[in-house]
Chains A and B, each alone.
Chain A
């Protein structure tokens, strides 16, 4: 395929700017959650700068704070972020064949839901220059937002901080409810997962299993059930 000459670094930066603005607010919430849980600002920053993923690092940080085991953190991170495999796979068909292995190693770090969505919207192949521009602004926004959120928490009174304990879950609800409204199978996956999770939380014996494993078991059962019952069409997969 031919190279698209209009896809410059600047064009990538420009396309990444809206993502950047969105990330500032989300990572602000992450920074607050991390420091509110007792982590210092630099740890919150380090997590954001090395992970660059919303749900994955929220869950991982939650496990750090609640004393999760290393294996739980590894498997939970893997299960939550496994969707990136599909995105990177799609992107591997989308990027310029001239992209070197080194460029692939570096740029794959920046594959997020939103970066993937914008990248796949481009016509033709994507080159390394455009891709790095597309990642740069969101990465800066993610880092800045985390710092601001983490720094702001220390200034808040206790009554506000206990109320903020729910913020992370509010964010998760904001992610899952709108798609559930549009697609019934997604709503059913969510309901099934919730029911399973509640059983693991409240049923005798089962409630001794640590939360990291519970998330994995619930997610695998609910997703496998839905995949068998409601297989998705090509277009729906690449959300």
Chain B
């Protein structure tokens, strides 16, 4: 494991995150009035998380079938307003069960 690379990566992450949080609070006195910029920033978290999740989620388990089961479970739980940990562990649980069943069948 290359710790120099890992530590550099962590430093970059921490530095960028801190600068983003610090600069406006420390410097800006005026509010942003540009509606496009405001709207763009409001949508960013959703587009980023969506692009990170799909289609990668399909490759996140032992095979495509169990991943689809896990995805379905996550969508179902999230749609019904369950919390982050419930959805995360619920989808993992569905994958686990699906993989055990596939293991027996195949």
Cβ A82 vs Cβ B25 within 8 A: no
- A101, A108, A189: the one contacting B46 at CB < 8 Å is A189
Q: How many A-B residue pairs have CB under 8 A?
A: 313
Knowing A55-B45, A85-B20, A215-B48, say if A92 contacts B29 (CB, 8 Å): yes
Interface of chain B residues 43 through 78 with chain A (CB within 8 A): 43-57, 60-62, 66-67, 70-71, 73-75, 77-78
The total of chain A residues at the interface (CB under 8 A) is 106
- Are the C-beta atoms of B47 and A222 separated by less than 8 Å? yes
Q: Is the interface of A mostly helix, strand, loop or mixed?
A: helix
Q: Known contacts A163-B96, A190-B46: does B9 contact A64 (CB below 8 Å)? A: yes
- Interface presence of B106 (CB below 8 A): no
State whether B38 touches A232 (Cβ < 8 A): yes
Residues from chain A with a CB closer than 8 A to the CB of B66 are 163
Which residue of chain B has its CB nearest to the CB of A95? Answer: B25
Q: Which residues of A contact B96 (CB under 8 A)?
A: 159-160, 163
Check A26/B84 contact, CB under 8 A, given A175-B49, A227-B43.
yes
Q: What secondary structure prevails in chain B residues at the interface with A?
A: helix
Judge whether A86 and B13 touch: CB under 8 Å: no
Q: Which residue of B lies closest to A91 (CB)?
A: B25
A131-155 with Cβ < 8 A to chain B: none
Number of interface residues of B (CB under 8 A): 77
Asked if A50 contacts B14 (CB within 8 A), the reply is yes
Identity of the chain A residue whose Cβ is nearest the Cβ of B82 in the assembled complex: A174
A-B contact sample (18 more), CB < 8 A, given A165-B61, A227-B37: A29-B88, A39-B1, A50-B10, A50-B13, A57-B17, A83-B42, A84-B21, A88-B24, A92-B29, A166-B61, A169-B57, A170-B73, A171-B84, A172-B53, A173-B53, A196-B51, A215-B48, A218-B47
Name B's A-contacting residues (CB within 8 A): 1, 5-6, 8-14, 16-18, 20-26, 28-29, 31-32, 35-57, 60-62, 66-67, 70-71, 73-75, 77-79, 81-93, 95-96, 99-100
Residues on A facing B (Cβ under 8 Å) = 22, 25-26, 28-29, 38-40, 43, 46-47, 50-53, 55-57, 59-60, 62-64, 68, 70, 73-74, 77-93, 95, 101, 104-105, 107-109, 111, 159-160, 162-181, 185-186, 189-194, 196-198, 201-202, 211, 214-215, 218-220, 222-224, 226-228, 230-232, 234, 236-237, 239
